[in-house]
A and B are shown apart, each in its own frame.
Chain A
Amino acid sequence: MPRHKGRGISTIEYPTGMNQNGDPSQAWIKLKPDGRVDVFAGTVDIGQGSKTVHTQIVADAIGVPYEWVTMDNSNTDSSPVCTGSFASRGTFIGGNAVRFAAERVRERILDIAAKELEASADDLEIEDGTVSVSGAPDRNISVSDVAAAATWGHGELITGTGAALKPYAPVDPETGAVEIEPHCAISYASCIADVEVDDETGEVTVLRLIQAYDVGRAINPTLVEGQIEGGAMMGLGLGLLENSYPYYPETDHRGSEFGTYLAPGMEELPEIESLILENPAVDGPFGAKAIGEMANNAQPGALANAVFDAIGVWVTELPITPERVLRALERKNDGKHEPRHEGKKVIFDEEISIGTIGANGGAVALDVP
């Protein structure tokens, strides 16, 4: 039988926010005279859905319906600083910035509502667009009427600003040690890959991915699943298909268009089971950590382990192409795939190490006692 099934597992962690911090996001919010909410933040939506997530956070932090909230992230004149949509920082840092701004807006709404209701702001709560007195729900005023009263009666603009920044964490150049946490949170994930390997053609087919991600809190589970599934396909490309330099380290035969560069497509889509775990971060918005980048990190290792489980060879140069699978099987059949044993050392992959390829045993090669 040329086709062999295998299962591999991989478990990873990934930080939220720029490594060593120092990457601010800021936001400001204003209310229209009918209580509708305008959010201004510089968070770029690169397809991850940050506008959706930011507006969800603002709706709940103020206490108004989601449909009331609009976000403008279109330019640097109207929006304050966002360091950028990278480092899996949008939901946590950008989300905290709009949350802090929304909390200021909520306070201003309560101040005006307190005057209108002749109550203490401390006794008021906001839910679904209505401000009411705790324990006396009949004494209430809509946020729309509060905004109108502010505009036409009190001559005030209800607004709020927020800024999220964790200070830069210097690193000791000799030990790598830091004095403060160099990230906002850490997310975790595990991935199981079920594959089928054809030992005649070298092809690896991914049958199923089972993946569990602890994202702290899923602000929008559909978007989290979108990240998990989209990321899985990128991880599958990295693991099995893609290579800018197919003959690395040589530079020949680079793909210069989609027709000559092998990226994953729908035909490679395996069955994907996505599990969302919620172990909240104490200082994330509503407990959120992150999901963005890590979603393509777990698959390559799981795939390499599944290939070993299927046919008993380790392919540790990516991508795991049919050619590499067949060459590894050839080495196995020639008795050359086994690690070298030296004392208590078990040494794999010696032929591709810097000690073998570099001159004089590789100037910076690992010194393993």
Chain B
Amino acid sequence: MSTFMTDFARDIAPRAMKKARISAEGFIEAYNNGTAELVDIRVGSETAVWQVNFGLKIPAPDLPERLDELPKDKLIVVACPQAARSSMARTYLHSQGFRVKYLEGGLLGLVDRLKGGRAKDIQL
């Protein structure tokens, strides 16, 4: 077992979770400050059905070949509909040395947050 995975497992505790995830509110603030980038890791057929009109679209299975597209100077926020796949993607990118969190509540939580006049809260 790799050292990374062993250390990672030892860190799976409530106090460490804030290092792994970010709320929709926290993401919007960081995005507006220019300190975070969204990465939608859904597969192509999912992004064809509905699209978030900001951030990057890199399907999770393509991440290993497309690491060079990820910004090195920003917090990477990976997101899927909820949080199952994004949590795995976050672990992978973390293992590759990126500063990365997964989006708590997922893309569904984010678009629910961005409804009505509150859609303007994200500066596009």
A binds B: no
Q: Which residues of A contact B (CB under 8 A)?
A: none
